[in-house]
C-alpha cells in the first residue's frame, strides 16, 4: 500500500506544502531512500523553475529604498517570534479596524445619548442605523468565542481576484460563518459573487453576494451545508442571483481544517 505522504513529494519539491504537511514529508523522506531519489529529481525541476520567469526590473526608486532600509539600524527588524494564534488577535488583525470603529461609534453615541437629554429624538435614526452593526458585532464576538471556530483565508487562484482578499471565519459545528472580502474587482450588473462549500468534491451554494464600490463585503451566514471528509470553500463569479452549480472557475479557494 502506498504511503499517502508519497503523493505529496511533488508538491513538497515545488514548495507548495504548508509547514505541517512539509514536516510529514520530511519524516517520510528520512526513512525512504526511493522517495529521497524521487524528491531529488523533482527538486532540480523546482530549481529550474525558480530561474524560468521572465525578468523584470524592480520599480524606480527600489534601490534607494533598499539603501535607506539598510542604512538605518533601527529599521532592521529583530527576529520575529512566533505568536500563537489567538481569537483576540483574529479580531484585532482581521476585523480590528471595523470593530474599533464600531466600538468608538457606540461610545460616542452613548456619550451623546447620556449628555444630550432632550435631543434623543434627533439620534433615533442613528440608533436604527447602528443596530444592525451592533447585532452583527455581537454575533461575531460570540462566533469567535465558540469552540471549533477557525479562520479560512481564501487563496487567489489567479482567475480574477486582482489582489483582493477574502477571509472567512467558520464554525463547522454550528454552521455559522462570517465572510469578509476586501478590494474585490467590481462586477457588472448581471453578475454576482457566489460562495460554495465543496464537500468531497461536490459544490453546495452557501451565499450569493455583491460588493460595494470599494470591492468590500461583510456577510453573516447562518448555515453551512453538509460537510464531508474534505471541505473547501470557493468563490466564483456567477450570473446575478447565483447558480445551482458553479459555472466558472473559482477566483479564490481555501480549506476548512478537519
Partner 1 sequence: MANQPASNAARAAASGDQADLALAAELAAGNIQALEILYERYARPIFSLALRILGNEADAEEVMQDVLERVWRYSGSFDAQRGRFGSWVLGMTHHVAIDAVRKRSRRPQAVDAEASELMLGLISDPNQPDMTDQAIQHEQAGQVRDALRSLPEAQQQAIELAFFRGLSHLEIAATTGEPLGTVKTRIRRGMERLRTVLSKTGVFND
We find the least distance from the C-beta atom of residue 248 to partner 1, in angstroms, to be 9
**Binders of partner 1 among 152-191, rule CB under 8 A?**
152-159, 161, 163, 165-166
Nearer to partner 1, 45 or 108 (CB): 45
Q: Which residues pair with 156 in a beta bridge?
A: 252
Helical packing angle, 120-145 and 87-94, nearest 10°? 130
Spell out the residues 6+ positions from residue 53 whose beta carbon is closer than 8 angstroms to its own. Answer: none
Nearer to partner 1, 1 or 189 (CB): 1
- What's the maximum distance between 2 C-alpha atoms anywhere in the chain? 82
Around 231, how many Cα atoms within 13 Å sit in the side-chain half-sphere?
19
Q: Which of 95, 96, 233 has its CA nearest to residue 152?
A: 233
Q: Which residue has 527600489 as its cell numbers?
A: 62
Please identify, among the stretches 118-126, 133-141, 172-180, 230-238, the one whose residues bind partner 1 according to the rule CB under 8 A. Answer: 230-238
What would the grid cell of residue 154 be?
Answer: 481564501
Please identify, among the stretches 99-107, 111-119, 132-140, 245-253, the one whose residues bind partner 1 according to the rule CB under 8 A. Answer: 245-253
Rounded Cα distance, 88 and 64, in Å: 38
With contacts defined by CB under 8 A, how many residues of the chain interact with partner 1?
Answer: 72
CA angle 68, 69, 70 (to 5 degrees): 95
We find the least distance from the C-beta atom of residue 63 to partner 1, in angstroms, to be 6
Among 198, 206, 219, 224, binds partner 1 (CB under 8 A): 198
CA angle 58, 59, 62 (to 5 degrees): 80
Q: Which residue has 502506498 as its cell numbers?
A: 2
Among 2, 74, 80, 125, binds partner 1 (CB under 8 A): 80
What would the grid cell of residue 145 be?
Answer: 468565542
Q: Which residues pair with 150 in a beta bridge?
A: 170
Binding marks (x or -) toward partner 1, 82..121, rule CB under 8 A? Answer: x--x------------------------------------
We find the least distance from the C-beta atom of residue 199 to partner 1, in angstroms, to be 11
Tell me: does residue 254 bind partner 1 (CB under 8 A).
yes
Please identify, among the stretches 120-128, 172-180, 214-222, 250-258, the one whose residues bind partner 1 according to the rule CB under 8 A. Answer: 250-258
Binding marks (x or -) toward partner 1, 33..72, rule CB under 8 A? Answer: -------xxxxxxxxxxxxxxxxxxxx--xx-xxx-xx--
We find the least distance from the C-beta atom of residue 189 to partner 1, in angstroms, to be 26
Amino acid at each position: 500500500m502506498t504511503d499517502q505522504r508519497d503523493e505529496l513529494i511533488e508538491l513538497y519539491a515545488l514548495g507548495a506544502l504548508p509547514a505541517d504537511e512539509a514536516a510529514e514529508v520530511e519524516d517520510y523522506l528520512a526513512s525512504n531512500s526511493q522517495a529521497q531519489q524521487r524528491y531529488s529529481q523533482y527538486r532540480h525541476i523546482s530549481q529550474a523553475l525558480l530561474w524560468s520567469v521572465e525578468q523584470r526590473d524592480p520599480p524606480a526608486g527600489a534601490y534607494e529604498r533598499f539603501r535607506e532600509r539598510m542604512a538605518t539600524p533601527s529599521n532592521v527588524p529583530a527576529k520575529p517570534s512566533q505568536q500563537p494564534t489567538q481569537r483576540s488577535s483574529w479580531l484585532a488583525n482581521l476585523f480590528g479596524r471595523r470593530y474599533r470603529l464600531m466600538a468608538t461609534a457606540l461610545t460616542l453615541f452613548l456619550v451623546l445619548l447620556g449628555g444630550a437629554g432632550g435631543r434623543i429624538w434627533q439620534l433615533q435614526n442613528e440608533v436604527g442605523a447602528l443596530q444592525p452593526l451592533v447585532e452583527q458585532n455581537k454575533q461575531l464576538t460570540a462566533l469567535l468565542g465558540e469552540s471549533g471556530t477557525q479562520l479560512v483565508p481564501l487563496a487567489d487562484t489567479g482567475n480574477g481576484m486582482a489582489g483582493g482578499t477574502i477571509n472567512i471565519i467558520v464554525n463547522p459545528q454550528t454552521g455559522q460563518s462570517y465572510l469578509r472580502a476586501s478590494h474585490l474587482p467590481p462586477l457588472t450588473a448581471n453578475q454576482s459573487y457566489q460562495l460554495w462549500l465543496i464537500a468531497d468534491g461536490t459544490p453546495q451554494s452557501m451565499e450569493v453576494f455583491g460588493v460595494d464600490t470599494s470591492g468590500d463585503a461583510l456577510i453573516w451566514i447562518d448555515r453551512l451545508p453538509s460537510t464531508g471528509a474534505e471541505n473547501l470553500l470557493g468563490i466564483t463569479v456567477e450570473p446575478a442571483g447565483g447558480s445551482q452549480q458553479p459555472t466558472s472557475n473559482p477566483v479564490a479557494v481555501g480549506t476548512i481544517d478537519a
